[in-house]
Amino acid sequence: MRKRRRRLIKSNAYTRGQIHLFLEAERVYGFNDLLDWVKYGVDDRLVADELRRVRDVEMPRAVSRPATNLLASRATPSPAPNRLVLRGISWTRDRPVAIINDRTLGGDEQGLVHVGKTNVSIRCLVIRQDAVRIQVVGSGEEQELRLRRASP
């Protein structure tokens, strides 16, 4: 099917022979050079005897504008909680993930989580729509973390 479509494109008179030149230019000079020529080339078409002109491009100059609406701030990261906190759950049927403190983990995935001023290695055992079951690696301790209900 793919070869058939390619053959149809190559035989289409609409391309006026340019498709063959494009394919040859890509083979010789590479896709990126060809793409630059399409976007910024000085010529309006490729010529068989002058394919090297595919490298004749005029790249636009970057427009320099003063940054007038940028806010400068020194955001300090919020400190990690002193305990494991389930911050959220992204639920898809194929791959649910849980956000615990500052870390996103999928089912049966293990990782380091910031707790206070240290890191704790945990494994996410089960993810449900409102809670997760985790295991603290090393101690084997299991915990269930639940989402906090929103205040009415």
pLDDT tens over the chain, length 152 residues? 677 777 776 777 666 668 788 888 888 888 888 888 888 888 888 888 888 888 888 877 765 555 555 556 666 777 888 999 999 998 877 889 999 998 999 988 999 999 998 999 999 999 998 999 999 999 999 999 999 876 65
Q: Residues near 108 by Cβ (< 8 Å), separated by ≥ 6?
A: 123, 124, 125
Give the model's pLDDT for residue 123.
Answer: 95
pLDDT value of residue 63: 56
So what's the pLDDT on residue 150? 65
Give me the pLDDT at residue 148, please: 83
Statement: the pTM of the whole predicted model exceeds 0.75: no
Give the pLDDT confidence score for residue 110 in this predicted structure: 92
Nearest to 126 by CA among 103, 144, 102, 140: 144
Residue 136: per-residue pLDDT: 94
